[in-house]
Structure formats: structure tokens, C-alpha cells
């Protein structure tokens, strides 16, 4: 069993805010140089990167944002579709002026956003590091039985609301269950503090419906297919982290990346499921720093 007892729950960063489309987006910003943007997914926040950023902060300007409706960012009354999140992310990047020589470090839905941005702004991207990432559309057949059933239920309007908004299943069960070793109570409390009410969990509830699953929603599936094809053509440096029990990046995805992606570095994290940052922050930080120093 991986020992996570020494993984810090502290978040020793100054909170900053920028207005995007009338809403405040929370972020942290440390270091100087070319920008390195850390993008989280569901149901986390910039807090996910707290123990990794210090490894890079003397090499570049490290920025981690809370996606709209998540973390300490505002929760506007929007649909929280993939397109909505992408619009706010593009606005955030533009507001901070970091759309040039940008390195992306991405996870979960942060990868769906980061890959999409890189595909749409090819002259602005410097490199991409990804872990438990959305490198293709998914199928229910890919999922173990329990996750397959949960995904079906979460995508249905009635049961999805009951499970996610009322039951808070993402924060109470899925976050700890999809981490290889136990997350500290303080870390769990921090993640949960962003979603204290039913109303605050709208973004969390919508994300499962946005996953391109067996081609649905079709608009999201088209976006993922397009950036997947671009990834096979671009020479942008890439760094893949994977664990032996991954949900998004399994053995087949690792093999596909090795075969189809050029300029790729691969790091095996060993014992890890989905929230790899809560299990192997030091390995991720060391390998990111080494890789970034190489170009």
C-alpha cells in the first residue's frame, strides 16, 4: 500500500481573482517566466496541485485556476456545459495574458479543456503534460460494472440530481474511492468546502453528462475526436503519467499513446487510480521538473 501519510494538506498560496464574463475566477500564481497552467477536473480545484507546483515554481510562472462553478470561483447560473467551461477558460487565459509559450498540466476534465485549447491555439502551446486524461471518447463497455451503473444513473436527470446534488456522491464517495490510498481528513474537508449546498453542486452534477459516452453528446464527441487527431500530428512535447489502476488512462490508452504520439515521455506511477496527485505528488513534481528542463 502506498504511504500517503506525509502528503501535506496545506494550501500555502495567496488567493487571486480575475473577472471573466461577469464572474470571479479564483487562481493561484507563483514564480516567473513562461506560463505553466494547471487544470483540474471534477470535483476538485486548484488545491489538487498544491504539492506539485513547488517543484516547478522556480522554472516558470505556475498558475492553477478553479474552473467556473468550482473551488473558490463563482457559481453563476449557467448550464455548465463543456462549451461554457471552455469559454470561461479562454477568457481566463486571455485576461491573464498567458496564451503564449504556455505549458499545460492537465487532469480529468481539465484535460478535455486543455487539449481543446491547445488544438485551437497551436501557436500558443509550448508543451502538454497529462494524467488520467480524456484522450478519446469513452464507452460504457470500457467501464467496470459498478462504474458503468453509476455513470448511467448520474447522467439521468432525476437520479443524477439525487446522487450528486442531494447525496453529494462525488465528494463523499467517488473522490476517496478513486484515490489509491486514503486522503487525509483535512484534504477531503478542503475539497468538500467548495460545495456545501445542493445549489453549489450544479457544475459537479453536469460534468458526467458532458462525457462523450458512446458518441453522446455528439458535439462534445466531435471536439474530442478533433483534438485526438491533432495530438497524433503535433510535435509539441508531451508527458504522460499513468497508474496501474487508471480509469481514463488504462493499458490500452498507454499503448495507443506510445504508438501514435510523437515527442512523448511516459512515466509509470505504479499504484494509482484516478486522483494520482493525492498519491504520488512528489514523483509527479520531480518528473515534471526534469521534463520541463529538457526543452
Catalytic residues: 108, 132, 274
Q: Sign of dihedral through CA atoms 239, 148, 175, 178?
A: negative
Nearest to 117 by CA among 95, 96, 99: 99
β partners of residue 143: none
Place of cell 514564480: 31
Contacts of 160 (CB under 8 A, 6+ apart): 153, 154, 205, 208, 209
**What number of other Cβ atoms are within 10 A of residue 12's Cβ?**
9
Tell me if 23 sits within 8 A of 88, measured CB to CB. yes
Nearest-angstrom CA–CA distance, 239 and 258: 11
Nearest CA-CA partner of 29 in 118, 95, 120, 117: 95
Interior angle at CA 174, CA 156 and CA 248, nearest 5: 85
Sheet bearing 35-39, strands edge to edge: 16-20, 23-30, 61-65, 35-39, 102-108, 125-133, 238-243, 264-270
Question: SS3 of 138, please?
Answer: strand
Amino acid at each position: 500500500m502506498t504511504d500517503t501519510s506525509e502528503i501535506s494538506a496545506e494550501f500555502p498560496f495567496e488567493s487571486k481573482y480575475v473577472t471573466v464574463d461577469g464572474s470571479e475566477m479564483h487562481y493561484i500564481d507563483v514564480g516567473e517566466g513562461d506560463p505553466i497552467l494547471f487544470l483540474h477536473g471534477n470535483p476538485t480545484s486548484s488545491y489538487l496541485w498544491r504539492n506539485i507546483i513547488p517543484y516547478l515554481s522556480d522554472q516558470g510562472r505556475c498558475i492553477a485556476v478553479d474552473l467556473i462553478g468550482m473551488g473558490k470561483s463563482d457559481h453563476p447560473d449557467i448550464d455548465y456545459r463543456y462549451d461554457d467551461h471552455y469559454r470561461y477558460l479562454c477568457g481566463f487565459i486571455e485576461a491573464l495574458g498567458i496564451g503564449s509559450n504556455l505549458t499545460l498540466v492537465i487532469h480529468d476534465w481539465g484535460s478535455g479543456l486543455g487539449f481543446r485549447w491547445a488544438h485551437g491555439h497551436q501557436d500558443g502551446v509550448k508543451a502538454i503534460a497529462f494524467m488520467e486524461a480524456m484522450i478519446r471518447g469513452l464507452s460504457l463497455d470500457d467501464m467496470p460494472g459498478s462504474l458503468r451503473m453509476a455513470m448511467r444513473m448520474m447522467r439521468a436527470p432525476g437520479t443524477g440530481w439525487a446522487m450528486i446534488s442531494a447525496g453529494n456522491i462525488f465528494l463523499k464517495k467517488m473522490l476517496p474511492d478513486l484515490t489509491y490510498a486514503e486522503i487525509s481528513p483535512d484534504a477531503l474537508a478542503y475539497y468538500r468546502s467548495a460545495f456545501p449546498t445542493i445549489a453549489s453542486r450544479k457544475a459537479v452534477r453536469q460534468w458526467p453528462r458532458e462525457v462523450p459516452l458512446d458518441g453522446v453528446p455528439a458535439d462534445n464527441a466531435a471536439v474530442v475526436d478533433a483534438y485526438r487527431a491533432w495530438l497524433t500530428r503535433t510535435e509539441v512535447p508531451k508527458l504522460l503519467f499513468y497508474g496501474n489502476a487508471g480509469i481514463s488512462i488504462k493499458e490500452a490508452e498507454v499503448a495507443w499513446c506510445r504508438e501514435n504520439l510523437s515527442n512523448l515521455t511516459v512515466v509509470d506511477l505504479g499504484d494509482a487510480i484516478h486522483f494520482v496527485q493525492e498519491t504520488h505528488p512528489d514523483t509527479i513534481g520531480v518528473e515534471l521538473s526534469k521534463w520541463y528542463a529538457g526543452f
